[in-house]
């Protein structure tokens, strides 16, 4: 049945029981033929029975953006599985999504429920692992990463899974939170990533995790124009370079944490009428949490719906939890990290928090439940030696 004219599009929800990034690592660790065929039909067939797997996460590579630019990424665009996307998690943002990939758990379980979260009366910037805005403070002692997110990375692997990522990420709070004790094999320039992956495969590692953030950085900085297209070409070449390192029996699996939507300068600053009911803000521009003043949560949800319902999905917190958008059952300790009302735009806009000055400089954003943000590719490729 067609939607009524002017009605909002349906949100793309995380596929809790199927093809979702949170289910990927557990599936890769149990990649026998029968398991793939009967339990994970969304996993590319090439993975079944592979002796070694490289999981390469290209931060920000949305399925819609890839499929609309096939000539720019010929390797990825021709890869088995590219026709069938999987979903990100809610919120579709890096902190939550990468933690779901590495732990095999949904945000409602691991507790990294967004980019900026309420913690003990302050706002924790998860990617920087700092609190405070005017003078950010290192939060590694006040919010120890492995207590904040206690689940191990790559559960059930039976051995530490090596991670190939930028050297500069080593020792950060977020790295500790989502990678735990996984050994980091850092690279300083991109050409080193395939070389490090090849060394680990030749050493016999059954699973290697690799991460590259270039697409996301370019999209945030300059949108989906010519610089983005140049970066997409470079990422496709990177995939080819990793394929060249695969020995016989090894498979490269490529996915992403989220897609992107070009917002530009279309930013919304909440008016005084709504802010009169708000204590403070958290989250991000496309998954903005409003923390209501005492007794004002219902009024705030109604006022936000009236003001922004034509462009935005307005979710009271309890509705999101009841509908299982975060996956798992949230404990009281995790619920306290959330606001009372969430604004998730389906239009290309963002809700700005004046306390987060860096947000105003972003061209592309993500976090909401649109197809552009929620759908990511999942492809598998073998090397010249064959799988």
Give the domain CATH number at 340. 3.30.1360
Let me know whether 170 and 289 are in one domain: no
The pTM for the full model equals 0.95
Let me know whether 213 and 330 are in one domain: no
Let me know whether 69 and 186 are in one domain: yes
- The answer to whether residue 273 sits within a structural domain is yes
Let me know whether 57 and 74 are in one domain: yes
Ordered DSSP codes for 252-309: EEEE-S---EE-TT-EE---HHHHTTEEEEEEETTEEEEEEPTT-HHHHHHHHHHHHT
If pLDDT is split at 50, 70 and 90, which confidence band does 359 have?
A: low
* d(C-alpha 61, C-alpha 218), whole Å: 11
- In tens, the pLDDT along 112-126 reads 999 999 998 899 999
Let me know whether 37 and 107 are in one domain: yes
- The answer to whether residue 109 sits within a structural domain is yes
pLDDT at 35: 61
If pLDDT is split at 50, 70 and 90, which confidence band does 10 have?
A: very high
pLDDT at 318 over 80: yes
Q: Give the mean pLDDT of 40-51.
A: 91
* d(C-alpha 221, C-alpha 134), whole Å: 22
Number of domains comprising the chain = 2
- The answer to whether residue 239 sits within a structural domain is yes
* d(C-alpha 288, C-alpha 207), whole Å: 36
Assign residue 132 the CATH number of its domain. 3.40.720.10
Higher pLDDT, 289 or 34: 289
Let me know whether 375 and 290 are in one domain: no
With vertex at residue 24, the alpha carbon angle to CA 368 and CA 206, rounded to the nearest 5 degrees, is 145
Cα 233 versus chain centre, distance: 21
3-state class of 186 per DSSP?
A: strand
Let me know whether 104 and 140 are in one domain: yes
Q: Tell me the β-bridge partners of 131.
A: 124, 137
- The answer to whether residue 279 sits within a structural domain is yes
- The answer to whether residue 7 sits within a structural domain is no
Q: Are 87 and 319 in contact (CB under 8 A)?
A: no
Above pLDDT 90, what percent of the chain? 84
pLDDT at 149 over 70: yes
- The answer to whether residue 9 sits within a structural domain is no
pLDDT at 387 over 80: no
Let me know whether 247 and 301 are in one domain: no
Let me know whether 94 and 189 are in one domain: yes
Let me know whether 194 and 279 are in one domain: no
pLDDT at 264: 93
With vertex at residue 76, the alpha carbon angle to CA 346 and CA 367, rounded to the nearest 5 degrees, is 20
pLDDT at 1 over 50: no
Structural domain of 323: 267-365
Q: Are 22 and 105 in contact (CB under 8 A)?
A: yes
Buried b (16+ CB within 10 A) or exposed e, 40-64: bebbbebbbebebbbbbbbbbbbbb
- The answer to whether residue 149 sits within a structural domain is yes
Let me know whether 286 and 147 are in one domain: no
* d(C-alpha 237, C-alpha 142), whole Å: 42
pLDDT at 37: 61
- In tens, the pLDDT along 162-184 reads 999 999 999 899 999 999 999 99
* d(C-alpha 38, C-alpha 368), whole Å: 31
pLDDT at 329 over 70: yes
* Positive/negative CA dihedral, 325, 367, 161, 26: positive
pLDDT at 135: 79
- The answer to whether residue 324 sits within a structural domain is yes
Let me know whether 219 and 235 are in one domain: yes
Q: Give the mean pLDDT of 302-306.
A: 97
3-state class of 381 per DSSP?
A: strand
pLDDT at 386: 41
């Amino acid at each position: 049945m067609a939607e009524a004219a002017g009605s909002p599009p349906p949100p793309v929800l995380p596929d809790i029981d199927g093809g979702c990034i949170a289910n990927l690592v557990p599936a890769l660790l149990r990649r026998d033929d029968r398991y793939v065929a009967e339990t994970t039909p969304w996993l590319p067939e090439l993975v079944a029975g592979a002796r070694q797997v490289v999981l390469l996460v290209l931060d920000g590579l949305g399925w819609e953006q890839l499929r609309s630019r096939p000539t720019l990424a010929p390797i990825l665009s021709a890869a088995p599985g590219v026709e069938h996307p999987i979903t990100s998690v809610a919120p579709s943002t890096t902190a939550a999504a990468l933690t779901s990939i590495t732990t095999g758990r949904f945000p409602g379980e691991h507790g990294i429920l967004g980019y900026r979260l309420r913690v003990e009366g302050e706002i924790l910037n998860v990617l920087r692992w700092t609190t405070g805005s005017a003078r950010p403070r290192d939060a590694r002692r006040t919010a120890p990463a492995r207590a904040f997110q206690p689940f191990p990375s790559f559960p059930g692997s039976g051995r530490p899974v090596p991670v190939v990522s930028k050297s500069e990420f080593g020792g950060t709070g977020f790295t500790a939170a989502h990678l735990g004790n996984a050994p980091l094999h850092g690279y300083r320039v991109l050409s080193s990533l395939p070389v490090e992956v090849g060394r680990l495969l030749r050493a016999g590692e059954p699973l290697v995790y690799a991460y590259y953030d270039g697409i996301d950085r370019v999209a945030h900085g300059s949108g989906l124009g010519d610089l983005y297209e140049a970066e997409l070409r470079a990422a496709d070449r990177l995939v080819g370079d990793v394929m060249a390192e695969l020995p016989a029996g090894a498979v490269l699996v490529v996915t992403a944490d989220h897609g992107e939507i070009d917002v530009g300068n279309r930013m919304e600053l909440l008016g005084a009428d709504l802010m009169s009911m708000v204590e403070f803000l958290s989250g991000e521009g496309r998954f903005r949490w409003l923390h209501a003043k005492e007794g004002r949560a219902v009024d705030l949800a109604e006022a936000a719906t009236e003001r922004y319902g034509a462009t935005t999905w307005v979710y009271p917190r309890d509705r999101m939890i009841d509908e299982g958008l975060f996956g798992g059952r949230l404990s009281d300790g995790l619920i306290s990290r959330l606001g009372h009302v969430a604004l998730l735009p389906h239009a290309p806009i963002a809700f700005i928090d004046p306390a987060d000055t860096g947000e105003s400089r972003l061209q592309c954003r993500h976090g909401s439940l649109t197809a552009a943000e929620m759908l990511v590719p999942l492809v598998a490729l073998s090397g010249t030696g064959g799988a």
